[in-house]
């Protein structure tokens, strides 16, 4: 199994450096030919979403579609796949992808609330994200 880091994944998607894009595609094809998966960590996806948004100005729907494609492709192994799938759905609706991953991870690990002062995130997850510090004493 090989793992892709953010810059490799971005090269594969954006193809702004043809030589690097070909190298990544060759590595992915080699893994597929050997019936291996390509590992993409959720941390890499968080960083990739940030790069696609802030550096390349990719629209949110396009990024969410890319996430959906990765999640459904058998070539790619994504630990916490369900967390990323849930986050991709919420990301389409608005909010920061990294924050949404944090919420979904907290839920996965059975947290009852997430203490966070981001009002936008509180609106997306009103029953889970709270700025009220009294939740810590219950």
Average pLDDT for runs of 10 along the chain of length 138: 96 95 96 94 97 97 94 94 94 93 96 92 91 66
Contacts by residues 46-51 (CB-CB < 8 Å, ≥ 24 positions apart): 46/97, 46/98, 46/101, 47/6, 48/6, 48/9, 48/10, 48/13, 49/91, 49/97, 49/98, 50/97, 50/98, 51/6, 51/10
Instruction: Report the distance separating Cα 81 and Cα 110, nearest Å.
Output: 17
Category of 67 on φ-ψ map: left (φ > 0), alpha (ψ -120 to 50) or beta: alpha
pLDDT given for residue 135 in this prediction: 61
pLDDT given for residue 137 in this prediction: 58
Instruction: Report the distance separating Cα 79 and Cα 26, nearest Å.
Output: 23
Q: Which residue's entry shows tokens 């968080």? A: 46
pLDDT given for residue 78 in this prediction: 96
Cβ distance 74 to 38 under 8 Å? Answer: no
Q: Model pTM greater than 0.85?
A: yes
pLDDT given for residue 76 in this prediction: 95
């Amino acid at each position: 199994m090989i793992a892709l880091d953010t810059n490799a994944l971005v090269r594969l998607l954006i193809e702004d450096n043809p030589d690097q894009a070909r190298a990544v595609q060759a590595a992915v094809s080699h893994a597929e030919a050997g019936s291996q998966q390509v590992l993409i960590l959720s941390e890499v996806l968080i960083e990739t979403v940030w790069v696609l948004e802030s550096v390349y100005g990719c629209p949110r729907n396009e990024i969410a579609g890319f996430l959906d494609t990765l999640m459904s492709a058998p070539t790619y192994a994504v630990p916490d796949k369900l967390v990323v799938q849930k986050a991709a759905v919420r990301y389409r609706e608005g909010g920061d992808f990294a924050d949404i991953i944090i919420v979904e991870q907290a839920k996965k690990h059975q947290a009852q609330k997430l203490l966070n002062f981001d009002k936008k995130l509180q609106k997306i997850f009103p029953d889970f994200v709270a700025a009220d510090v009294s939740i810590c004493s219950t």
